[in-house]
Structure 1
Amino acid sequence: MNNLSLTQKIYLYLVSLYKWYLKTPQRSLDEAYAAALHIKQIEDEHFNGNKISFDLTTSSGVNIFFESDLRKQLKVVRMRLTEFNSSRLFLNEANQKGAIKYGVELIEPTEVLEKLKIIDEITVKYQESDFDGVENFSQSNFPLLSGNNSVIKPSSNSNNNSQIIQSNGAVPPQEYSKVNNGQRSKANTTGVLPRSILSTISRLQVELDPNAEQDVVQKFRKAQRRTIISVRFILLLIIVPILTHQLAKAFVVGPIVDHVRNQETVKIFINYEMEEEALVELQRFEERIKFQNLIGLSSPLSAEAMEVQLKDKAREIAQEYRGESASAIKNVFADIISVIAFSILLMVSKREIAVLKDFFDHVVYGLSDSAKAFIIILFTDIFVGFHSPHGWEVILEGISRHWGLPGNHSFIFLFIATFPVILDTIFKYWIFRYLNRVSPSAVATYHNMNE
């Protein structure tokens, strides 16, 4: 050691100091955990495992002793957890790499959650009303910061004791179902230093990192791969059902239906609406011939010639509607096959679905507030707006005709009277519960544009 130069000594000292800093979260949590266990020991030895309380029949000296000890241990828990939060705040990716480089084992999230759960169970019993100056300790008071600047919050109400919240305040889709609905106190949202200062320090650390350029290139390539995979998967979701439907109808379902349906004995019309349309078409043809004869546009026809033309037209109409009826039956089975193919595509594309969700999150969060409000108003006016019933009526009639079903107008009107209202209610609830929390400025812009 004496043979080392001054520069080397300073370097070794800085390395040891850096190791001590990296071990701070573990050290702080262990001290808080030990203080909580000390409180538990007092409960087990002197209060039969129950909460520490002060009996008026006991001497004041004993009460003062237990109260002082309890105050001390609760203060240690509070201070050590505050130190834990502050030190974990700066454990970014660069520090994690430094820990690996210098052989420092960082605290595992599982160990954090286990110890915090025990601390919560012990300290949550002591409220502000019990002792003057003693803080209210509960699991909501100790948000933990992981190395990737995400928040891990312990929860005693679920088997899953953590939830992840991104540093920008948004909850990733893959972790959204884990978020508890408990209220956070104002103390939870306030750190030791303002967030803007902490974000500036983190940004400077990234900019001073010699591997920053490489990280930026890697992130760009990752975003590029995500975009390519998402666009390709969206095209597959559109092309596969359509192509499956056409191929199944032409080469599988079509020949089977044509073989089963005897063209001579099968019914021409599969519903009464087709029959009415055919009769109206034949009637108009007959009236057109009579009108042309009366105004002299065609040579006068005898009754026999008129009958022959009507028979030819009737056969043509029958052949047309026989093919339309067969096509409707083919559509039913071809649609079933296309739905099966679509479901199989979804089941074998779990990775692509996760990438697509991430892609949509980046696209939506990247839009400006006015763009978000514009898209919301556009879709709501189309599907639940004042003119939407006409669109729903066209869609339902088209689906009925596609499958060869008679258009039940009572069902269509009932659907139009209920379904858009349900959609509108769900959409307003989504704006109130989710969008209002994720992007309140977009909600304000939406209300202003609506007015």
Structure 2
Amino acid sequence: MNPIPRSITRTLFRFRTELTSESRSLAIHELEVAKYKASVSLRYLAGLVVLPWVISISFQKGLEPWVTNWWNTNQSPKILDYIEEESILGRFEKIEELFMLERMVEDSLETDSPDPRIENQKKMIQLVKMYNQDCIQIMLYLLTNIMGSLILSAYLILGKHKLAILNSWIQELFYSLSDTTKAFYILLATDLCIGFHSPHGWELLINWIFENYGLAHNERIISGLVSTFPVILDTIFKYWIFRRLNRTSPSLVVIYHSINE
């Protein structure tokens, strides 16, 4: 491990080159490298943002007829018992309550009402159609998210070189800021991820992941994840401050602790 911070060695190297005739060529080279890093990083970052949306839209449109046909002809009883069981029972209770309310209103108005058995059959048919459509959408989202995750993972693995350039570019942008600005952004990020109000955001994120991957809602698992993730992130962040920032920028650590207090 090099005991001298990179900022000091870089400054000494630039000072040495300025004393020689290499300063102009070095400046041109650094400008070209900076442009290349910015161009590659922005394109790669745009791909990370746009690719999931393109995958989601294209796969949903392409797979919907196939999933609908498969579900209507070869649906599994286990899937029927597992996916959205509580949701469908809750909808049935709501429809039954609405039907009873309609019956009470019609009886109070003393109007001629149709046969209750026919109305029950209509409501049940409507409920089955709603349930069937919900199951199709869940299966469609599940397949789309799995395939999207595989494609995105392949994009990250195949683009390791570009990912390294993006990481280097972000680090250079971060270290080019003043210590006060860096402390502000670090404090903002930590408050969003591990702050006092962060558990509600983590709960929404985990619920969204469960819904998109067709997992049944489990309050115990979600509560455990919500209480665990911020602790893990807080430990990683404190280790990062101790390991990295104390060595590269001690003044930033002092400013951060002063603002945090």
Query: Are 1:286 and 2:99 an aligned pair?
Result: yes
- The separation in 1 between residues aligned to 2:139 and 2:170, in whole angstroms, is 37
Partner of 2:19: 205
Which amino acid in structure 2 is aligned with residue 431 of structure 1?
I
* Greater helix share, structure number: 2
1:397 corresponds, among 203, 207, 211, to 207
Instruction: Indicate if the aligned counterparts of 1:331 and 1:402 stay in contact, CA closer than 8 A.
Output: yes
TM-score, normalisation: structure 1 = 0.50
2:7 corresponds, among 154, 161, 168, to 168
Instruction: Indicate if the aligned counterparts of 2:83 and 2:135 stay in contact, CA closer than 8 A.
Output: yes
Over residues 393-436 of structure 1, what are the superposed CA-to-partner deviations in whole Å (9 max), with x where a residue is unaligned?
A: 11222222222322110111122222221221121121111122
1:365 corresponds, among 161, 175, 199, to 175
Partner of 2:51: 240
* Cα 1:310–1:223 shift into 2, 3 Å: farther
Partner of 2:164: 354
Instruction: Indicate if the aligned counterparts of 2:145 and 2:212 stay in contact, CA closer than 8 A.
Output: no
* Cα 1:321–1:219 shift into 2, 3 Å: same
Matches within 5 A, 1:3-22: none
Instruction: Indicate if the aligned counterparts of 1:377 and 1:450 stay in contact, CA closer than 8 A.
Output: yes
**Pairwise CA distance, 1:288:** 5.7
TM-score, normalisation: structure 2 = 0.82
- The separation in 2 between residues aligned to 1:346 and 1:444, in whole angstroms, is 36
Provide the secondary structure at the position in 2 that maps to 1:168: helix
Partner of 1:342: 152
- The separation in 2 between residues aligned to 1:300 and 1:414, in whole angstroms, is 55
**Pairwise CA distance, 1:368:** 1.8
* Cα 1:283–1:397 shift into 2, 3 Å: farther
* Cα 1:202–1:414 shift into 2, 3 Å: same
* Cα 1:167–1:432 shift into 2, 3 Å: closer
Which amino acid in structure 1 is aligned with residue 19 of structure 2?
Q
* Cα 1:287–1:346 shift into 2, 3 Å: same
Provide the secondary structure at the position in 2 that maps to 1:262: helix
Matches within 5 A, 1:128-143: none
Instruction: Indicate if the aligned counterparts of 1:397 and 1:407 stay in contact, CA closer than 8 A.
Output: yes
For structure 1, the residue ranges without an aligned partner over 5 or more in a row are: 1-152, 154-162, 172-195
- The separation in 2 between residues aligned to 1:359 and 1:365, in whole angstroms, is 10
Which amino acid in structure 1 is aligned with residue 231 of structure 2?
V
Instruction: Indicate if the aligned counterparts of 1:282 and 1:310 stay in contact, CA closer than 8 A.
Output: no
* Cα 1:314–1:438 shift into 2, 3 Å: farther
- The separation in 1 between residues aligned to 2:227 and 2:158, in whole angstroms, is 38
1:332 corresponds, among 142, 158, 181, to 142
* Cα 1:165–1:201 shift into 2, 3 Å: closer
* Cα 1:292–1:441 shift into 2, 3 Å: farther
Over residues 132-183 of structure 1, what are the superposed CA-to-partner deviations in whole Å (9 max), with x where a residue is unaligned?
A: xxxxxxxxxxxxxxxxxxxxx8xxxxxxxxx697752489xxxxxxxxxxxx
Partner of 2:83: 270
**Pairwise CA distance, 1:343:** 2.1
Provide the secondary structure at the position in 2 that maps to 1:351: helix
Aligned-residue Cα RMSD (Å) equals 3.3
**Pairwise CA distance, 1:373:** 1.6
Over residues 205-237 of structure 1, what are the superposed CA-to-partner deviations in whole Å (9 max), with x where a residue is unaligned?
A: 15xx2x644442332232112111101101112
Instruction: Indicate if the aligned counterparts of 2:60 and 2:140 stay in contact, CA closer than 8 A.
Output: yes
Which amino acid in structure 2 is aligned with residue 168 of structure 1?
S
Instruction: Indicate if the aligned counterparts of 2:38 and 2:169 stay in contact, CA closer than 8 A.
Output: yes
Provide the secondary structure at the position in 2 that maps to 1:407: coil
Partner of 2:39: 228
Which amino acid in structure 1 is aligned with residue 156 of structure 2?
L
Which amino acid in structure 2 is aligned with residue 202 of structure 1?
R
Which amino acid in structure 2 is aligned with residue 244 of structure 1?
I
For structure 2, the residue ranges without an aligned partner over 5 or more in a row are: none
